[in-house]
Chain A
Amino acid sequence: MMKILVCDDDEALISMVRFKLSRENFGEVVKAVDGREAKRLLDENDFDLIISDIHMPFHSGLEIVTHVRQVLKKKTPIIILSAEGLEETVLQAFDIGANDFITKPFSPAELAIRVKRLLNL
Chain B
Amino acid sequence: MWDILYFIVNVLIFLYAITIAVSYLILAAISLFEMQAYMRRNYFVDYKYILSSPFAPGISLIAPAYNEGLTIIDNVKSLLSIMYNNYEVIIINDGSKDDTLAKLIPAFDLVKVNYDLQYTVATKPVRGIYKSKNRAFKKLTVVDKENGGKADALNVGLNFSKKDLVACIDVDCIIEPDALLKMVKPFLEDSSVIASGGVVRIANSCVIEEGRLIEIKLPVNLIARMQVLEYIRAFLLGRMAWSKLNGLLLISGAFGLFKRETALKAGGYNHKTVGEDMELVVRMRRYMHEQRLPYRVAYIPDPLCWTEAPASAQILSRQRNRWARGTFETLSIHRKLFFNPRYGIMGMLSYPFWFFYEWLSPFVEFTGLIFFIVLVALGKVHWVFFLSLTLAVYCFAFFISMTSLLAEETSFFKYTAKRDIFKMIAIALIEPIWFHPRVVWWSLKGNYDLMKGKKSWGEMTRQGFVQYKSKEKVAS
Q: Are A83 and B135 in contact (CB under 8 A)?
A: no
Partner of B135, one of A55, A85, A86, A95: A95
Q: Are B214 and A55 in contact (CB under 8 A)?
A: no
- Which of B48, B81, B83 is in CB contact (< 8 Å) with A59? B81
Bound together, the chains give a CA A106 to CA B51 distance in angstroms of 18
Q: Are B81 and A85 in contact (CB under 8 A)?
A: no
**A34-66 toward B: CB 8 Å interface, digit per residue (1/0)?**
001000000000000000000101111011001
Q: For the complex, what is the distance from the CA of A62 to the CA of B214, rounded to whole Å? A: 20
Quote the shortest CB–CB distance from B276 to chain A (angstroms).
33
| The residue from B83, B136, B212 contacting A55, defined by CB atoms under 8 A apart | B83
Knowing A57-B177, A92-B135, A96-B136, say if A63 contacts B81 (CB, 8 Å). yes
Contact status A85-B177, CB under 8 Å: no
What CA separation (Å) do A85 and B54 show in the bound complex? 11
Contact-residue bracket for chain A: 10 to 19
For B, the interface residue count at a CB cutoff of 8 angstroms equals: 13
Docked pose: A60 CA to B78 CA in angstroms: 11
CB closest residue in chain A, given B81: A60
B227 CB, min distance to chain A CBs, angstroms: 26
For A92, the chain B residues whose CB sits under 8 A away are 135
Find out whether the CB atom of B52 lies under 8 angstroms from the CB atom of A86: yes
- CB neighbors of A among B103-146 (8 A): 135-136
Question: Would you call A15 an interface residue if the criterion is a C-beta within 8 Å of the partner chain's C-beta atoms?
Answer: no
Partner among B48, B81, B136 whose Cβ is within 8 Å of the Cβ of A83: B48
Nearest Cβ distance between residue A10 and chain B, in whole angstroms? 11
Residues of A near B52 (CB, < 8 A) are 83-86
Q: How far is the CB of A94 from chain B (nearest CB, A)?
A: 12
- Give Cα distance in the complex from A86 to B50, angstroms: 12
Question: What CA separation (Å) do A86 and B85 show in the bound complex?
Answer: 9
- The A26-40 residues at the B interface (CB cut-off 8 A) are 36
Q: Is the CB of A84 within 8 A of B81?
A: no
Is there an interface contact between A58 and B135, defined as CB atoms closer than 8 Å? no
| In the complex, per-residue mask of B408-448: 1 if CB is within 8 Å of any chain A CB, else 0 | 00000000000000000000000000000000000000000
